[in-house]
């Protein structure tokens, strides 16, 4: 994906509560939101943004749309993705959560066929602090700097960015991959982008233990990354939901899953450390780890 301050952005489902929130945040930040779509509301406006029935109508009126932010209800996401791709949009950010997994698999397959890139579902978007916001990230938490953030969490990403900013460590680029089990793009696609970014001196990775398979992250980190990485794995100590059955089953199920969870979390942390990644044990350690790394590099006094 390529993000610039003047690139054109479309909001699909602009009149949904999520779409309204997203459009308002982006507009307030100065993002060039040129159109929205909402079936049956063509010809209307929202926050001075013209609304069209279809994506192709929006493109016909504005000539080109670089990125579409999808905020339609979960069971309409696949149609929205296919419509945007058919109209020529190649950068898609799905903010909607709870998209049916089979629909996402079909959307990802179609995107790969035309070399389009999907962020999400359940993504809060992307921000180049001081330049452009695409999505629903809390812009007040982010300030220009040289630390890149890539996360599978949303609120924690905002919190870490805020703590970095309070320590006078701004961000070069922050990317929220989405919280769904199946996402359109992962660490493997985005870490190399931060590696090539000239403004980024260090990278913060926020992963979820609940994401299970860490192959995507580990493969990305093993792809000749030269920039230092600090990782925090969220949710390693979260309890499992209660089982409703007889006592023996509950005990056996709890013990089995606790052991698996512990082993999985430990394996992920061990693998990260073997890859020369600094692993923070808690969120508050992320800032101190970044400071230490930048001091060693001479980028922080």
- Order of strands, edge to edge, in the sheet holding 229-234? 132-135, 125-128, 171-176, 144-151, 202-208, 229-234, 278-279
Rg from Cα positions in the chain: 20
pLDDT of residue 179: 87
**CB-side neighbour CA atoms (13 Å) of 192:** 11
Q: Where are the alpha helices (DSSP H) in the chain?
A: 17-29, 55-62, 77-86, 101-113, 155-166, 187-196, 215-221, 247-274, 284-297
Tens digit of each residue's pLDDT (9 = 90 or more) over 18-47? 999 999 999 999 999 999 999 999 999 999
Q: Which residues, at least 6 apart from 244, have a Cβ–Cβ distance to it below 8 Å?
A: none
Q: What does the DSSP 8-state code read for residue 173?
A: E
Q: What is the mean pLDDT of residues 143-163?
A: 94
Domains of the chain: 8-119 (3.40.50.720), 138-297 (3.40.50.261)
DSSP-assigned letters across all residues of 77-116: HHHHHHHHHHTT--EEEE------HHHHHHHHHHHHHTT-
Q: Specify the pairing of strand 32-37 against strand 8-12.
A: parallel
Tens digit of each residue's pLDDT (9 = 90 or more) over 248-274? 555 555 554 554 455 566 667 777 877
Identify the CA nearest to 204 among candidates 179, 244, 172: 172
Work out the pLDDT band at 148, boundaries 50, 70, 90.
very high
DSSP-assigned letters across all residues of 106-160: HHHHHHHHTT-EEE-SS--EEEETTTEEEES--GGG--EEEEEEEES-SHHHHHH
Identify the CA nearest to 63 among candidates 35, 103, 28, 24: 35
Rounded to whole angstroms, how far apart are CA atoms 3 and 106?
Answer: 25
Rounded to whole angstroms, how far apart are CA atoms 284 and 115?
Answer: 38
Identify the CA nearest to 186 among candidates 232, 137, 118: 118
Tens digit of each residue's pLDDT (9 = 90 or more) over 173-199? 999 999 888 999 999 899 999 999 999
Rounded to whole angstroms, how far apart are CA atoms 40 and 207?
Answer: 40
Tens digit of each residue's pLDDT (9 = 90 or more) over 207-246? 876 555 456 676 677 666 889 999 998 876 655 555 455 5
Q: What is the mean pLDDT of residues 112-126?
A: 97
Residue 211 φ then ψ, to 5°: -70, -10
Work out the pLDDT band at 277, boundaries 50, 70, 90.
confident
């Amino acid at each position: 994906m390529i993000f610039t301050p003047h690139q054109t952005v479309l909001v699909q489902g602009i009149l949904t509560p999520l779409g309204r929130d997203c459009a308002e945040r982006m507009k307030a930040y100065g993002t060039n939101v040129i159109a929205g779509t909402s079936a049956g509301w063509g010809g209307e406006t929202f926050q001075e943004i013209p609304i069209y029935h279809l994506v192709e109508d929006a493109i016909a009126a504005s000539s080109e749309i670089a990125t579409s932010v999808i905020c339609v209800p979960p069971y309409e996401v696949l149609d929205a993705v296919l419509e945007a791709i058919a109209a020529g949009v190649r950068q898609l950010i799905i903010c909607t959560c709870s998209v049916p997994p089979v629909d996402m698999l079909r959307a990802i397959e179609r995107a790969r066929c035309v070399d389009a890139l999907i962020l999400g579902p359940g993504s809060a978007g992307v921000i180049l602090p001081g330049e452009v916001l695409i999505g629903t990230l809390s812009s007040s938490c982010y300030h220009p700097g040289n630390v890149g953030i890539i996360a599978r969490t949303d609120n924690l990403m905002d919190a870490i960015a805020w703590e970095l900013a309070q320590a006078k460590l701004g961000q070069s680029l922050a990317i929220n991959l989405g919280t769904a089990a199946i996402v359109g793009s992962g660490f493997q696609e985005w870490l190399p982008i931060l590696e090539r970014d000239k403004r980024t001196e260090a990278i913060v990775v926020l992963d979820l233990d609940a994401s299970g398979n860490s192959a995507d992250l580990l493969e990305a980190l093993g792809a000749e990354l030269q920039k230092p990485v600090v990782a925090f794995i969220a949710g390693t100590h979260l309890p499992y939901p209660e089982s409703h059955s007889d006592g023996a089953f509950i005990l056996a199920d709890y013990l089995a899953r606790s052991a698996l969870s512990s082993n999985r979390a430990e394996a992920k942390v061990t693998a990260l450390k073997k890859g020369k990644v600094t692993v923070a044990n808690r969120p508050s350690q992320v800032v101190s780890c970044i400071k230490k790394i930048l001091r060693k590099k001479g980028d922080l006094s």
